[in-house]
Amino acid sequence: MNRRDFAKALALAGAVGGGLWPMKHAFAQAPTLHKGVAVDPAKLRDLQQAFLDLRFGMFIHLNMATFEEREWGDPTLSPMLFNPRHLDPTQWAKAAKSAGMGYACLTTKHHDGFCLWPTKTGSANVMQSSYPHDVVRAYVDAFRKAGLKVCLYFSILDLRQDIRARTVTLEKVALIKAQITELLTSYGPLTALILDGWNASWSRISYAELPYREIYDVVKSLQPDCLLTDHNAGSYPGPALYYTDIKQYEQHAGQKIPPGSPVPSQSGTTLQSDWFWKTSYPTSELASASTIVEDWLKPFNQNHCNLILNVAPNRDGRFDDNAVARLAEIGRLWKPEGSVATIDRQVTITTPNLAAGRPAWASASDEAVGPDLAFDDNPRTFWLADRGKDEAWVEVRFDAPVVFNTVSVVEPLHEDGYGDTSRIAAYKVQAWRDGAWTDIASGGTPSAYQFHELPPTRAQRVRIWMRGRQPGLSELGLYDEPRSGSPIAHA
């Protein structure tokens, strides 16, 4: 879908979507949660490593768009259009096994808002279609029977229910929570839940408008071992995990894994030309087996990254013969060798940046570059020290003391006007304590991103002091991550 089509779809959704869901279901379906579900970092790393050990997965895009010759379904069309009358997830699983895949992921709800399971929330779903069967159930049963791990995809953007930028309400958040709850309580243990249509420049639903942590807590309270990943690499680039357990790159959209990335990731692309089936697919050119194996799969596996390859079922609910043959060819060519890259110590940020948008001060700034750019929650903007200075600092202040246990330091490497070489030789993160600055974290060249896990620390003023060649800073992030911690250190 291009920008014009997207704008048209939004307009249509605004006209037809507002009253489609009976709001009386909203809070009845939402789970009761203890806010801030703690996640054990060591257990999370074990789950991330187990995910990387799967190496290779299958994305399965099947939904209303399959029957429309489109990439996004039209939210105004009747669910009766959906009719994969010979649905065969057993064939999908057999084809995945033939390629040497270890897991799969099905699009339970795409951006137009049609659900592939019999949801009780009132949203359009398979029971209102020409194929009144639970597609999610058929998928998970077939893939588990074949010995494959199961993941699900869920779009936050929902054009049928008018869940889009600047329209989010408590009732719509409750609908999202209720649908995720159905998926996580009805289909057994999931390896991962992949989210989409959220905090992206094209969807514009921000984590502030629809709070990420609330959704994360729903998932972790229901299935603590389910990894959560969001398509947000476009907003949070670079070798760091932000608001996701697994970094999700959309290779098909040009997103590339940074060389030497240390974080657990997966890169998604397509066997056919696009995500959803088109009438040309039975005879169209497919990605070659050698490209998939030699250019993508093997290099990714050595870079903490899985390949998840989309194979689109046709309107009968089956894979075309050419796709089945190509998957078997991939399996003959790819024989996993050696061990998968091992995850070292990583930090996953799942809470708001406390420093974002707060008043900022600096030792001096280069021309009109203000210190607020180091606290705007945008890694692509940056503050720059005054010219000729090899020591500098930038500070954030709060109206009252805040508590945080994680600090991120982001240098603007590779950004226009900064360069590809680090300008920071050393830095110290400091808190104002008893009339003086006290060091709470320190480091050398940050290699673009650096995280520090601290005991819970309370402070009203925090700064970073840097030494180097006119150093700069994209972000100094302060986070209070839910986890078991030591007593609060006052500053």
Residues 85-140 have pLDDT tens digits of 999 999 999 999 999 999 999 999 999 999 999 999 999 999 999 999 999 999 99
Residue 356 shares a structural domain with residue 273: no
Residue 137 shares a structural domain with residue 250: yes
Question: Which among 2-11, 49-58, 231-240, 479-488 has the top mean pLDDT?
Answer: 49-58
Residue 315 shares a structural domain with residue 361: no
CB 263 within 8 A of CB 274: no
Residue 320 shares a structural domain with residue 358: no
Residue 456 lies in domain: 352-490
Q: How confident is the model at residue 11 (pLDDT cuts 50, 70, 90)?
A: very low
Q: With respect to residue 339, please indicate whether it lies within any of the assigned structural domains.
A: no
Q: With respect to residue 216, please indicate whether it lies within any of the assigned structural domains.
A: yes
**Mean pLDDT for the chain?**
90
Q: With respect to residue 103, please indicate whether it lies within any of the assigned structural domains.
A: yes
Residue 461 shares a structural domain with residue 431: yes
Kindly report which listed range (142-151, 193-202, 216-225, 305-314) carries the lowest average pLDDT score.
Answer: 193-202
CB 157 within 8 A of CB 11: no
Residue 316 shares a structural domain with residue 370: no
Q: How confident is the model at residue 485 (pLDDT cuts 50, 70, 90)?
A: low
Q: What angle do CA 343, 348, 354 make, to 5 degrees?
A: 155
Higher pLDDT, 12 or 328: 328
CB 149 within 8 A of CB 102: yes
pLDDT of residue 73: 97
pLDDT of residue 432: 96
Residue 105 shares a structural domain with residue 17: yes
Instruction: For 395, list phi and psi in degrees, rounded to 5.
Output: -130, 145
CATH number for the domain harbouring residue 382: 2.60.120.260
pLDDT of residue 51: 97
Read off the pLDDT of each residue in 326-351 and give the average, rounded to a whole number.
Answer: 89
DSSP, residue by residue, 416-473: TTT-SS--EEEEEEEEEETTEEEEEEEES---SEEEEEEEEEEEEEEEEEEEESS-EE
CATH number for the domain harbouring residue 304: 3.20.20.80
Kindly report which listed range (61-65, 335-339, 393-397) carries the lowest average pLDDT score.
Answer: 335-339
Residue 26 shares a structural domain with residue 122: yes
Q: With respect to residue 175, please indicate whether it lies within any of the assigned structural domains.
A: yes
pLDDT of residue 365: 78
- The 10s digit of each residue's pLDDT in 132-173 is 999 999 999 999 999 999 999 999 999 999 999 999 999 999
Q: With respect to residue 146, please indicate whether it lies within any of the assigned structural domains.
A: yes
Other CB atoms within 10 Å distance of the CB of residue 314:
18
Residue 379 shares a structural domain with residue 471: yes
Contacts of 404 (CB under 8 A, 6+ apart): 354, 454, 456, 457, 459, 478, 479, 480
Q: Residue 352 pLDDT > 80, yes or no? A: yes
Read off the pLDDT of each residue in 218-244 and give the average, rounded to a whole number.
Answer: 92
| Residue 265, beta-bridge partner list | 247, 305
Other CB atoms within 10 Å distance of the CB of residue 40:
12
Domain end point (choices 333, 362, 392) = 333
Residue 302 shares a structural domain with residue 360: no
Q: With respect to residue 342, please indicate whether it lies within any of the assigned structural domains.
A: no
Residue 284 shares a structural domain with residue 418: no
Residue 23 shares a structural domain with residue 171: yes
- Containing H/E element for 394? strand 391-410
Other CB atoms within 10 Å distance of the CB of residue 326:
24
Contacts of 211 (CB under 8 A, 6+ apart): 173, 352
Q: How confident is the model at residue 30 (pLDDT cuts 50, 70, 90)?
A: very low
pLDDT of residue 319: 98
> Could you give the percent of the chain with pLDDT greater than 70?
91
Write out the two tokens for 437: 């600055």
Q: With respect to residue 45, please indicate whether it lies within any of the assigned structural domains.
A: yes
Q: With respect to residue 374, please indicate whether it lies within any of the assigned structural domains.
A: yes
Domain tally, the chain: 2
Domain end point (choices 333, 364, 387) = 333
Residue in 390, 394, 392, 400 with CA at minimum distance from that of residue 375: 394
Instruction: For 192, list phi and psi in degrees, rounded to 5.
Output: -155, 150
